[in-house]
A and B are shown apart, each in its own frame.
Chain A
Amino acid sequence: MLALIVVVSAIGVTLFNQRPAHEDELAIPIGELRSQGFELRLLNDSAARGRDRRFVTAHARQLAQSIERTRDELTSLRPVPALIAVQGEALRRSVPLGDVAAQLGAGRAPLAPTALAEVVASAERLKALEGALKR
């Protein structure tokens, strides 16, 4: 009986994971990336205002790991055909987030204005994508 429950559960989980992702499922990792992007801006502002350097670098490294995990989650989704372009754009837009988190994690704070502007633009675009998916 227990074996049957395990087999049925395993089949259920596999089928659930293989079904195509719709708007609400795609919006979750995109929303996380949006949040991480805006948090990088806040962290950079904190660094510019003289907050503890060790905290800034360590928190940036934790954020970098979260960004990597979220990008992996977004990559692993198989969206319905109409949403493949959205997934691709979100992945492209999130590349600067990982780069900037790595820079802050390496102690290179505050960021150059161009790098900061790119992160903010990416976060704003991710926010727009998330909003469109949730409508």
Chain B
Amino acid sequence: MGKFAEVFLGILTAMGGFVEIGELTFTLNAGRRFEHALLWIVLLGTVGIMVYCEMAGRIAAVKHQAVFSLIRERDGFSAGLLTLVAANIVNLLTCAAEVGGVALLWQLLSGWPYRGLLLAALVFFVIVVWSTPFKWIERIFGLGGLLMIVFIVAAVALHPDWGSVAAGFVPSLPRAAGGRDILMYAFYGVALLSSIMLPYETYFYASGGIEDRWKPADVTLNRIVVIVGFSLGATLAASLVVVGAEFFAPRSIDPALPGSAALATADAFANVGLYVALLGMFFAFAGAAIETALSAAYNLAQFAGWPWGLDKRPRDASRFALSWIAVFVLATAVVVTGIDPVSVVEYSIVFSVVVLPLSYFPVLAVARDRGIMGPYANGALANVLGWFYLALITVAALAAIPLFVATHAGQG
């Protein structure tokens, strides 16, 4: 395949894989509660995920080392193990929410019982990951997720006040804010930041670079894919905030189910809008379920030094294969109990932010080290942004759990 086609596909895949069930829920509700006032967090979080995915991808291309082998090397066994356990709990919870979201979507399309569909989803995911090459998994689910563009079109069709949308990209407090409103605003800010900077995206992105056999010559491709793909993904996230503000807020609806989100596109574009949104959400949630399950297995295998990779035959990387299958089974077990997948998302998003500094510090430490990276080490801009975001996510990590408790998980 030509270089141009590879870059183009990489960009589309990055865009299509940008939104998952947690981000969908939090962006719509952020718009519903605070109109456009939290759009600046979408911008802030997107630059943050660009900075760290670019570094992790560059390390993967130059040193062929993924995030968790760096964590173990840099942090030592005990601190590394703590990060591994925390990161994989978050991966498991996120995977559970995505599997539950897929079953809810299938129920909307088929009318069949939810629990039966959860088991069908488990079988579907195991077969897909077992039988499909890594590149095709990325492309099928990333490109399918592009159907979510229907939310961008719906946002435009809702004729928002573009001045207010533009003002939302400037940090500000909500209008007529009292003490509780400020706490809620802070909670949504932290949750939105976390949902955009979910750590599994970096683990998966770097491991994917190694699966795709990136070389130092691919550093530019990595940079273009991250910057352009994630910018387009952020446009989708921002459009969800606009849909929350323009469609759900006037109707006093807090969208809490995937079907609620689809009502907005059905209102704008009738049944075509409905089906496109449901299909787009399916690819986005299913892609995220696969990415989180694989991320958990990558993390474990990289930390323990096991052979890993979807290009290896399962018998040659048996512990890796067993790990991702176990994550799918456990994730299904979590939601088959009847727990609401969207509630699981709330926990996974908040605990994700706690894991972020532990995951991202080793990436920054290696990416800026000229002794390791040589001419591919961070420049001044990457260093400044890296330290800025590390400080930001550390503050967010410290604030996340107190805000979660004080706002009753963002409910009031």
Contacts and interface: CB of A to CB of B under 8 A. Distances in A.
Interface stretch (B8-16, B260-268, B312-320): B260-268
Interface in A42-68: 42-43, 46, 49-52, 54-55, 57-59, 61-63, 66
Interface stretch (B52-60, B157-165, B248-256): B248-256
B269 to A, nearest CB: 11
A57 B252 CA distance: 22
A34 B262 CA distance: 19
Interface centre among B109, B251, B408, B412 (most CB of A within 10 A): B412
Interface stretch (A2-10, A23-31, A82-90, A93-101): A23-31
A31 B254 contact: yes
B216 interface: no
A51 B408 contact: no
B107 interface: yes
Given A28-B408, A52-B271, A69 B340 contact: yes
A28 B412 contact: yes
B270 A123 contact: no
Given A54-B109, A59-B108, A39 B408 contact: no
B260 to A, nearest CB: 6
B412 A51 contact: no
A25 B257 CA distance: 22
Contact of B252 (A24, A43, A123): A123
Contact of B270 (A31, A50, A59): A50
Interface string A91-123: 000000000000000000000000000000001
Contacts of B408: 24-25, 28
Interface of B: 104, 107-111, 180, 251-254, 256-257, 259-260, 262-263, 266-267, 270-271, 274-275, 278, 340, 408, 411-412
6 A-B pairs closest in CB distance? A59-B259, A35-B254, A28-B411, A58-B108, A38-B252, A39-B253
26 contacts: A24-B408, A28-B408, A28-B411, A28-B412, A35-B254, A38-B252, A38-B253, A39-B253, A39-B260, A42-B267, A50-B271, A51-B266, A52-B274, A54-B111, A55-B262, A55-B274, A57-B111, A58-B111, A58-B259, A62-B107, A62-B108, A62-B257, A62-B259, A66-B340, A127-B252, A134-B412
